[in-house]
Amino acid sequence: MARLAGQRSPTSRTATVRMGRKERKARKLGCMSVEEPKRCLVSVSSDFEKKADHEQAGPVLLAFVRLKSRPIEGCYGVMTMKSAVLAVVLVLFGRAMAQEAPVVGPASGSLVIVGGGGKEMESILDKFVELAGGKGARIVVVTTAASSNPKHNYDRSWIATFAREKLGVAEVTVLHTHDPKVAKTEEFVKPIKRATGVWFGGGRQWRLTRAYGGTRSEQEFHRVLERGGVIGGSSAGATIQGSFLARGDTSGNTIMVGDVQRGFGFMRNTAIDQHLIARGRERDLIEVLEDPEGKMRKEFDRAAMLGIGIDEDVAIVVQGDRFEVIGKEKGAVLVYDPRKWRKDTLVEAKWETVRTGDSFDLRNRKVLVKGSGAR
């Protein structure tokens, strides 16, 4: 039968559902399997992926769902238009929830982030080695932050010595280079590929970014976490674990928003500071999060960023969306959430204190006092 001029073919419509008698009967019975060779399949347009990946304005995302009718052998069932829409809504909801909670720890593995010091570090290092696998751990200690002087003894590391002699770890490798070309080589990354734990030592954090940022070494650091391993670090080795590099200026460590701004991002959308109370740095992260001079690069979401300041001989152990404070008795970690600030908020009210033994919920941004939900 000929179609009238201008009339669209049913197969050209965005959504076409072809349903036979057997399909209708099966659906009424609640069955998911029918014998009709024509099936309705749902495909999500690539436009949806593009929209979802680039949406920044909020939880409202656009999607284009196209139902295609074509013969499929061995199909498990028929998806209705209602089911298709529901599936897309669930995907959108999941993405929206992720946008509302931009600060999360690693999807797998653990972080041990230490605020510097060393007088009471034994319990913290013991926890790091435990997470790395105990005496059977394979640990890499990165000493690059310590100096820019090529004559510096980068092979000397008290962390490596302590792990070997005090904690009984048999395989400890000290790793260093200032040359990104070296950091890209297969030979250099071999120990990282075997590692169950990586420790970044103290010094200046920008040296770590300059040496390893964007190289194969940085990729392998992230893969340690993907394998369920642990990344640890103290002082500069703490700050590098955030996404924004506080005190990253090459001319001095008192400049909070400097010329080197990218950390390794093991904790996304965070700025981490160290030696906090011991050096009177309680207010310094406020400068990062308010950025009055507008020096922070646009790649960082400052409005949603979380500041974490850690005192000496104190560490946070990050697993998923929570961290626990360990270390010295009455130790403190200060958390800065600019989303809670107003114009009249007092400076001293711009941080929350998390004590040793307590935990912090990164997704909901609240302190969990020990005994009330903390792990």
Q: Residues 354, 221, 140, CA angle at the centre, nearest 5°?
A: 90
233 or 79: which leads in pLDDT:
233
Both 91 and 114 in one domain: the answer is no
Both 141 and 41 in one domain: the answer is no
Q: Rounded to whole angstroms, how far apart are CA atoms 342 and 169?
A: 49
Closest CA to 167 of 195, 139, 205: 139
| Last residue of one domain, picked from the residues 76, 100, 124 | 100
Residue 125 has pLDDT above 60, yes or no: yes
Look at residue 5 and tell me if it is in a domain: no
Residue 328 has pLDDT above 60, yes or no: yes
Both 267 and 320 in one domain: the answer is yes
| Last residue of one domain, picked from the residues 100, 130, 157 | 100
Both 20 and 88 in one domain: the answer is yes
Both 79 and 167 in one domain: the answer is no
Residue 23 has pLDDT above 70, yes or no: no
| Last residue of one domain, picked from the residues 78, 100, 122 | 100
Q: What is the pLDDT of residue 92?
A: 53
Sign of the torsion formed by the C-alpha atoms of 178, 180, 185 and 190: positive
Look at residue 3 and tell me if it is in a domain: no
In the chain, how many domains are there?
Answer: 2
Both 17 and 141 in one domain: the answer is no
Closest CA to 365 of 336, 344, 345, 331: 336
Residue 124 has pLDDT above 80, yes or no: yes
Query: Which of 25-34, 276-285, 288-297 has the least mean pLDDT?
Result: 25-34
Of 2-16, 116-130, 268-282, the range with the highest mean pLDDT is 268-282
Q: What is the pLDDT of residue 371?
A: 54
Q: Which residue has the tokens 């009455």?
A: 330
Both 176 and 34 in one domain: the answer is no
32 or 288: which leads in pLDDT:
288
3-state class of 171 per DSSP? strand
Look at residue 318 and tell me if it is in a domain: yes
Look at residue 375 and tell me if it is in a domain: no
Query: Which of 19-23, 47-51, 111-115, 301-305 has the least mean pLDDT?
Result: 47-51
Look at residue 340 and tell me if it is in a domain: yes
Residue 53 has pLDDT above 80, yes or no: no
Both 67 and 140 in one domain: the answer is no
Both 252 and 199 in one domain: the answer is yes
Both 195 and 272 in one domain: the answer is yes
Amino acid letter, residue 47: D
Domain hosting 184: range is 110-368
pLDDT band at 303 (very low <50, low <70, confident <90, very high): confident
Q: What is the pLDDT of residue 166?
A: 86
Q: Rounded to whole angstroms, how far apart are CA atoms 8 and 1?
A: 14
285 or 105: which leads in pLDDT:
285
Give the model confidence (pLDDT) of 88-114 as tens digits. 545 454 444 444 545 679 999 999 999
In the DSSP assignment, the letter for residue 262 is B
Phi, psi of 330 (to 5 degrees): 60, 25
Give the model confidence (pLDDT) of 152-175 as tens digits. 999 989 999 999 998 899 899 999
Sign of the torsion formed by the C-alpha atoms of 356, 334, 133 and 159: negative
Both 61 and 177 in one domain: the answer is no
Closest CA to 144 of 181, 178, 99: 178
Q: Which residue has the tokens 């790649």?
A: 299
Q: What is the pLDDT of residue 84?
A: 53
Express as a percent the part of the chain with pLDDT over 70: 71
The 10 Å Cβ neighbour count of residue 352 is 15
Q: What is the pLDDT of residue 11?
A: 47
Phi, psi of 308 (to 5 degrees): -130, 115
Task: Supply 28's token pair.
Answer: 């009424």
Max Cα distance, the chain (Å): 90
Strands 359-361 and 322-327: antiparallel
Q: Which residues contact 306 (CB under 8 A, 6 or more apart)?
A: 103, 269, 270, 271, 335, 336, 337, 362, 365
Look at residue 93 and tell me if it is in a domain: yes
Both 141 and 259 in one domain: the answer is yes
Look at residue 214 and tell me if it is in a domain: yes
Give the model confidence (pLDDT) of 212-250 as tens digits. 999 999 999 999 999 999 999 999 999 999 999 999 999
- H/E segment holding residue 183: helix 180-183
Q: What is the pLDDT of residue 119?
A: 84
> 319: domain CATH number?
3.40.50.880
Distances, alpha carbon 226 to alpha carbons 95, 114, 193, 200, 235, in Å? 21, 21, 11, 18, 24
Residue 64 has pLDDT above 60, yes or no: no
Task: Supply 205's token pair.
Answer: 């954090």
Mean pLDDT over all residues of the chain?
A: 81
